[in-house]
Amino acid sequence: MVDIEKDNTAILVVDDEESLRLTFQMFLSREGYGPVEVASTYDEALALIDKRDFDLVVSDIVMDGASGIDLLRTIKEKRVECPVVMVTGYPNINTAAEAVRLGAFDYLAKPVKKEDLLRTARMALQQYALRNTNKALALEKERYQKYLEAVFRSVGELILTVDPQRRIIEFNDNTATWLAGFGVENISGKFLEDIGTCLEIFIPDIDSVLANQRGVPEHRIELPPESGQAGIFRVSALPLTSDDGIFLGVVLVARDVSRLEALEKKGMRNRLHRLIGSSRPMQTVYTLIENVGKVDTTILINGESGTGKELVVEALHAESPRRDMPLVKVDCTAIPENLLESELFGHKKGAFTGADRDREGRILSADGGTLFLDEIGDISSLMQLRLLRFLQERTFYPVGRDRSITVDVRVVAATNADLRQKVQSGEFREDLYYRLKVVDINLPPLRDREGDLDMLVQMFIAKFSTRLRKEVTGISDQALRVLRDHDWPGNVRELEHVMERACVLCDNTTITSEHLPMELRESDRPMPQVHHAEKLLEEEDEEVRIINTLNRTFGNKAQAARLLGIDRSTLYRKLKLYGIDADGIVES
């Protein structure tokens, strides 16, 4: 929890009722906050806001003249970043939704109890302090970046930057020393083709970035025999852009790992719990899981659909002191929005139509253990607010109850969406984003996991041959080449479906190309992406369209929703409407 210096915390109370203004001022001042200033109108409040910075604004919604909602809107337009708590004597769902949509931290219904006011103020100020802390970290990161630039020329790797015309812009001392071994000097400002053969091994990577403005994942290159030198380089290339997104060229980083290869292989692992893979990105994931699994903190897992986020959660739970307590998983998009609150927090009998008995929510079920919230980026604004309150206080109110429940739960969330972009577009609360992202684990897509595909293929063959009671023992080189050439937009889940299909169809001990789906054999094109949806959805019947799309994605509902151009929650409703069993769909 972030510490707050109460005696240096400025709060503004806005209400046209003098008694309420003074009461709120007294409650907050006696709690130690200060200075606490008051305003009776919209204009008075704006004058004070223009004069000084506030850490919190508490405003009535209904006032003479401009309303509190008008004040909230103006505060956001002025880019004043402090949290705003709304007070209303007429609470309803529309008022709450409008306040949340405009960025209110919370709202309180009159008559306001002292403990409710102080609790909400404390939560809002802690959230504000957390956001300011993150901004300070961002500034520190910027200063660190400048420090990195200062040591640019002295690092051990070869670093080379090239402009869009393939002209060398900068290089570090290590690059100059390496080139000098080939008799090459004074390369600044020269074009790549004028340098000679020593840089030829790096040119394909540079040209790829120049053509596509996308990075080239790290890989290994041998120096050709004609270079006269032996060595293996680990190479990556990335776009070089300005702060405003203008493409400036390419930065290439190459490290001589000839002497490190043998040592490195000794420390490589090929699995952690149910996670499989020995690639460098997976080594990073393993290390993160082992380090943060033991620390009782909130974690956000980012990764495309099918990358294995649920397996990461299971590994985190297994590495934690909570391993003997429950691991409760909640797919936030599989539960209708109007039932998600009850599903998470539980409800009292009679709280709403159909609530015929008391129900213990998933949060209480996870007490002492781990709560996994999958697809967290798709929950509603009001649900985001309730979840934020829970993460801050570790207490919650079941639907229909007025007594809080305290639990000891470790929360892990996952998403395949860009939450930062959702924050910028106003679809996701920034304070909740930072609460979830105390530590983040980025799970790599299968296409970036060099060498892992072969290992996964063998694992799936063993798994499905056992399950199907078949004697499938391997795969042909030609079939394996087809798998290696595929882009795997559905990641490991897609590969799993393909291998299950292959094992089902295999009538001997070896999987061949004929056992693989036709689109993998006939073309090395990646599976259709979202922007091709209009070409995919030519069928007239909606049910047929959904089934065909699920077939193309091997039952991957998240990817199917993107191809159909609909929200994942909408797809779930359609599946229920048409009685479609998506989990049973595997293309034949």
Query: Of the ranges 139-153, 436-450, 523-537, which one carries the lowest mean pLDDT score?
Result: 523-537
Two tokens, residue 47: 């004058």
Q: Is 298 helix (H, G, I), strand (E, B) or coil?
A: coil
The reported pLDDT for the residue numbered 172 is: 82
Residue 221, number of CB atoms within 10 A of its CB:
15
Tens of pLDDT along 575-587? 878 888 766 664 4
Give the separation between CA 250 and CA 242, rounded to whole angstroms.
Answer: 12
Tens of pLDDT along 557-569? 777 777 777 766 6
Give the separation between CA 368 and CA 371, rounded to whole angstroms.
Answer: 10
The reported pLDDT for the residue numbered 553 is: 74
Please determine, for residue 547, whether its predicted confidence score (pLDDT) is greater than 80: yes
14, 39 contact by CB (below 8 A): yes
Mean pLDDT, rounded, for 190-218: 86
9-145: CATH superfamily: Response regulator (3.40.50.2300)
Tens of pLDDT along 279-297? 888 988 998 898 888 888 8
Please determine, for residue 140, whether its predicted confidence score (pLDDT) is greater than 70: no
Q: Which of 118-122, 195-199, 399-403 has the highest mean pLDDT?
A: 118-122
Give the separation between CA 167 and CA 77, rounded to whole angstroms.
Answer: 44
The reported pLDDT for the residue numbered 438 is: 85
At position 130, the amino acid (one-letter code) is L
Query: Of the ranges 141-155, 400-414, 509-523, 524-538, which one carries the lowest mean pLDDT score?
Result: 524-538
pLDDT band at 313 (very low <50, low <70, confident <90, very high): very high
Percent pLDDT > 70 in the chain is 85
Parallel, antiparallel, or unpaired for β 11-14 and 405-406? unpaired
Give the separation between CA 298 and CA 437, rounded to whole angstroms.
Answer: 7
Residues of the chain with CATH 3.30.450.20: 152-263
Give the separation between CA 317 and CA 330, rounded to whole angstroms.
Answer: 15
Tens of pLDDT along 9-33? 999 999 988 999 899 999 999 999 9
Parallel, antiparallel, or unpaired for β 247-256 and 232-241? antiparallel
The reported pLDDT for the residue numbered 92 is: 64
Pick the CATH number of 448-584 from 3.40.47.10, 1.10.8.60, 1.10.10.10, 3.20.20.140: 1.10.8.60
Q: Is 237 helix (H, G, I), strand (E, B) or coil?
A: strand
The reported pLDDT for the residue numbered 198 is: 77
Fold of the 271-444 domain: Rossmann fold (3.40.50)
The reported pLDDT for the residue numbered 178 is: 82
The dihedrals phi and psi of 315, each to the nearest 5 degrees, come to -65, -40
Mean pLDDT, rounded, for 228-235: 72
Burial class (CB within 10 angstroms; exposed 0-12, middle 13-18, buried 19+) of 115: exposed
Residues of the chain with CATH 3.40.50.2300: 9-145
Q: What share of the chain is helix, strand, coil (3-state, %, to 5)?
A: 50, 15, 35
168-171 β-sheet, strand order? 168-171, 158-162, 247-256, 232-241, 216-222
The reported pLDDT for the residue numbered 197 is: 74
Give the separation between CA 392 and CA 47, rounded to whole angstroms.
Answer: 32
The reported pLDDT for the residue numbered 525 is: 42
Residues of the chain with CATH 1.10.8.60: 448-584
170, 149 contact by CB (below 8 A): no
- Exposure string of 365-398, with b = 16+ CB inside 10 Å and e = fewer, is bbbebbbbbbbbbbbbeebbbbbbbbbbeeebbb
Tens of pLDDT along 353-374? 777 777 888 999 999 999 999 9
Two tokens, residue 426: 């106003």
Parallel, antiparallel, or unpaired for β 216-222 and 232-241? antiparallel
Pick the CATH number of 152-263 from 2.40.50.100, 3.40.50.720, 3.30.450.20, 3.90.320.10: 3.30.450.20
The reported pLDDT for the residue numbered 397 is: 82
- Within 155-256, strands assigned E span 158-162, 168-171, 216-222, 232-241, 247-256
pLDDT band at 201 (very low <50, low <70, confident <90, very high): confident
477, 463 contact by CB (below 8 A): no
- Kind plus residue range of the DSSP H or E element containing 569: helix 568-578
Residues of the chain with CATH 3.40.50.300: 271-444
